[in-house]
Amino acid sequence: MNAIKLKLQMSALAVLLSGCAAGPDFKQPDAPQVQGYTKEPLPQKTSSAATLGGDAQQFVEGMDIPAQWWTLFNSPSLNAVIEEALKASPDLQSAQAALRAAQEQVSAQQSAFLPSVNASLAPTRQKQPVSAGQGASPFNLHTAQVSVSYTLDAFGGNRRQVEGLQAQAEQQKFLLEAAYLTLTSNVVEAAVQEAGLRAQIAATQEVLKVQEQLLELLQRQYALGDVAQADVLTQQAALAQTQAGLPPLQKSLAQQRDRLTALAGRFPSQELEQKFDLASLSLPQKLPLSLPSSLVRQRPDVRSAEAQLHAASAAVGVATANMLPQIALSANIGSAAAEMGNLFTSGTGLWGLVGGLTQPLFAGGALLHRKRASEALLEQAAAQYKSTVILAFQNVADSLRALQYDADALQAQDAAERAAARSLEISRRSVQLGETSPQTLLAAQQAYQQAVISLAQAQAERFADTAALFQALGGGWWNRGELALNSPAK
């Protein structure tokens, strides 16, 4: 009992000593002192166009992002695919398992704050030489004891190890959030790309119908002697060239379907039932614009880099503590008897106390170099954190620029498509009346073909870059109930 009392006293002393931990105390990096994402102020609204996906979009400063931001596209099919992907994605399941493993490592290391207690029972049978004068031989000895050992965290080495593992677990939390955001963003992007490819295929098929009608017109005029055979052959070549552009689009669509199916956690042969076209998607008209000071708390990759920086800081403390004295205590209490039945009877008790102080004196410079290495890794983590923050701001700036110019491009493409369609119709009538050459008609066809395909691409770009903005701003994970972490405002 005296040993146990001494052990409790030493544990209390350990708590007091561990109040001071070796190494630097981690300080959360300050938010960048910038006022905006672009050099010049953003327009209050983007331009608009009287076509699909042509609504003006408004940037709302300080607007919060919903956790399920993809629902703003008002597509039940998109919502269903994302729900399935979140349940079945092996990438997300891998990140969840990594988080659980990191949390268990923290709990395992925290056990070092408590004494290690072991119970043992050691029956032995020995024979001593007669010359040793040790009495009867052979003889039995049964020893039962409880041993307690404890290493005082006098300079906070274990506390820094726990701190580092907690930071690594925090990093895994944000890697999980990043995997969640990447998965949902990829599904939206794949759906938009599928819709855009369908629009381009439809535009190409529309052009083919027009070219087939014009070919019939030229064939009739050739039969009447109004145009040369070369004009008919030129039109046939233009029609064949347009037809040749259709298979690559169909190939891209098939591959995009495979990608979307894989994102949902299925094999390609288990293709999704949902199909996407631009008409089934709504373009969000109000877009969030988080304050720059809030972005570093919203981006999972930035928070992950911050946790990595924290872990590197704690590693410096561990390396420093390893150069300082280590204090270890151990105690045991038990009983030993020749007969098992006599254990714990009077006169069989035994106990022992051991205290140890170890100060590293010479290790070939290993401890010093490990400390210097940890300090260099801390500098590396700080630089990587800064790089991640800069990239985060670049992502937002790129998305904002893209949305601004996407709207202008769509407006211009819409006007170009209308003008090309009118020019084609005028050229068709002129050729039919013999007022102009077929070469003029061919040029009008080529302009129209390029205009309708470019219009479809411009429409898809607005949807894709809108999704990219939500991803660049962090995706609203802080508003989600399950797997939610601390609020970014904290």
Do the domain assignments include residue 384?
yes
**pLDDT, tens digit, for every residue of 74-124?**
999 999 999 999 999 999 999 999 999 999 999 999 999 999 999 988 888
CATH of the domain at 77: 1.20.1600.10
pLDDT, residue 437, reads 77
What's the total number of domains in the chain?
Answer: 1
| Range in 120-129, 153-162, 407-416, 468-477 the model is least confident about | 120-129
Do the domain assignments include residue 307?
yes
Q: What pTM does this model have?
A: 0.86
**pLDDT, tens digit, for every residue of 387-407?**
999 999 999 999 999 999 999
**pLDDT, tens digit, for every residue of 19-53?**
578 889 999 999 999 988 998 888 889 999 999 99
Residue from 264, 294, 262 nearest 78 by CA? 264
Question: What percentage of the chain carries pLDDT values higher than 70?
Answer: 92
Do the domain assignments include residue 124?
no
Average pLDDT over residues 173-187: 96
Do the domain assignments include residue 141?
no
Mean pLDDT of the chain: 89
Q: Residue written as tokens 């010479």?
A: 362
Do the domain assignments include residue 11?
no
Do the domain assignments include residue 305?
yes
pLDDT, residue 489, reads 45
| Range in 44-53, 339-348, 368-377, 407-416 the model is least confident about | 339-348
Q: Residue written as tokens 């992950």?
A: 304
Q: Are strands 139-152 and 326-337 parallel, antiparallel or unpaired?
A: antiparallel
Structural domain harbouring 322: 19-117+155-334+369-479
HEC string for the chain: CHHHHHHHHHHHHHHHHCCCCCCCCCCCCCCCCCCCCCCCCCCCECCCCCCCCCCCCEEEECCCCCCCHHHHHCCHHHHHHHHHHHHHCHHHHHHHHHHHHHHHHHHHHHHHHCCEEEEEEEEEEECCCHHHCCCCCCEEEEEEEEEEEEEECCCCHHHHHHHHHHHHHHHHHHHHHHHHHHHHHHHHHHHHHHHHHHHHHHHHHHHHHHHHHHHHHHHHHHHHCCCCHHHHHHHHHHHHHHHHCHHHHHHHHHHHHHHHHHHCCCCHHHCCCCCCCHHHCCCCCEEEECCHHHHHHHCHHHHHHHHHHHHHHHHHHHHHHCCCCEEEEEEEEEEEECCHHHCCCCCCEEEEEEEEEECCCCCCCHHHHHHHHHHHHHHHHHHHHHHHHHHHHHHHHHHHHHHHHHHHHHHHHHHHHHHHHHHHHHHHHHHHCCCCCHHHHHHHHHHHHHHHHHHHHHHHHHHHHHHHHHHHCCCCHHHCCCCCCCCCCC
pLDDT, residue 12, reads 45
pLDDT, residue 456, reads 93
Other Cβ atoms less than 10 A from the Cβ of 89: the count is 23
Band (pLDDT 50/70/90 cuts) for residue 473 is very high
* Alpha-carbon span 148 to 115, nearest angstrom: 6
pLDDT, residue 390, reads 96
Give the Cα-Cα-Cα angle 104, 109, 113 (nearest 5 degrees): 135
pLDDT, residue 65, reads 95
Do the domain assignments include residue 490?
no
Do the domain assignments include residue 440?
yes
Say yes or no to pLDDT of 341 above 60. Answer: yes
pLDDT, residue 73, reads 97
pLDDT, residue 169, reads 96
**pLDDT, tens digit, for every residue of 230-267?**
989 988 998 999 999 999 999 999 999 999 999 999 99
Q: Using CB atoms within 10 A of its CB, is residue 443 exposed (0-12), middle (13-18) or buried (19+)?
A: middle
Band (pLDDT 50/70/90 cuts) for residue 137 is low
Average pLDDT over residues 159-186: 96
